[in-house]
Amino acid sequence: GYSVTNSLFGMGNPLLDISAVVDKDFLDKYTLKPNDQILAEDKHKALFEEIVKKFNVEYHAGGATQNSIKIAQWMIQKPHNVGTFFGCIGKDKFGEILKQKAVEAHIDAHYYEQEEEPTGSCAACITGDNRSLVANLAAANCYKKDKHLDLEENWKLVEKAKVYYIAGFFLTVSLESILKVAKHASENNKLFCLNLSAPFICQFFKDNLMQVMPYVDVLFGNETEAATFAEEQDFETEDIKEIAKKAQALPKVNTKRQRIVVLTQGKDETTMAHEGKVETFPVLKIDPKDMVDTNGAGDAFVGGFLSELVQEKPLDQCVRAAHYAANVIIRRAGCTFPEKPDFN
């Protein structure tokens, strides 16, 4: 396939993942569901210290969008810097780690660095094949359109891209930044992709979500997010195929492209709605004992999909690559990957 530098653009929350296998008592103490993504509140402050003290923690560069851009780059391999990433970090050790890890992943990361807030982190509390994510955005929440995105040298990188991906998580940070990128994509007939990311986004940030939806060419989500989205949008159905169809038919600004909706269901089949039809794709089988960590599986799915999308491959090839990448990532701790992919 053919790729050019900076052709895939991502913007989101760069976080350092602090992951550990914990116990049910720990989840209960902080009233966490086994499988969820939430933003840290005051009651979770102590969680970050306790997880490091009590359990065997691993640190990995994270943040949903950044993970996906890295996976796409890994799938593509050469040239380097096909993926661009924007986000906000602090001037500290965690920030330096994120910068170093971006270089190692061969993505072109341009961070807005500020000193008010420390670099964000995300506690990944793993029990069995579940993972409960608690994100302390900190610096990630300080991204500013006028301080970074609007700068000429940065906006030039946005203009170079032909595929854009932003996780729904960023809707809590900078709606105006998302809209600027989304409108650019729409006006230039490029592909803008968004992820529902978490039930709380569909529920409590639905106004922001629906302001962006008319610009969305490819919408990603999992079964839990899809169910919450359907409920909040009064779709009056719990059937995943129907939800995909209804999301596909929501109003769209750029009528030259029909929206594509891709919904995953863990080990169950993936559903894709486009051009008035719904297709399903079985995922790659995996022995439960080979599953190390499902954290990052969704990000890897998107990364695999984007790697083919940016090379203008057919959609079924995009889904195949998505399933391959997710299958690789769940065999490893964190959103990490072997040196080279084995996909063709």
Catalytic residue positions, numbered: 299
CA dihedral 72, 66, 216, 257 (to 10 degrees): -20
Whether residue 267 contacts residue 291, with contact meaning beta carbons closer than 8 Å, is answered with no
Residue-wise DSSP of 46-97: HHHHHHHHHS--EEEEE-HHHHHHHHHHHHH-SSTT-EEEEEEEESSHHHHH
- Nearest Cα to Cα of residue 190 among 7, 319, 64, 67: 7
Please give the Cα distance from 218 to 323 (Å, whole number): 17
> Which residues on adjacent β-strands are paired with residue 9?
84, 164
- Nearest Cα to Cα of residue 218 among 310, 284, 293, 153: 310
Q: Which residues contact 330 (CB under 8 A, 6 or more apart)?
A: 286, 291, 292, 293, 294, 296, 297, 300
Residue 152, both tokens: 């000429």
Please give the Cα distance from 192 to 9 (Å, whole number): 10
- For residue 238, the Cα-to-chain-centroid distance in whole angstroms is 24
Residue 266, both tokens: 């863990």
In the block, residue with structure tokens 């004992």: 289
The shares of helix, strand and coil residues in the chain, as percent rounded to the nearest 5, are: 45, 25, 35
Please give the Cα distance from 315 to 259 (Å, whole number): 12
- Nearest Cα to Cα of residue 98 among 138, 133, 66, 134: 66
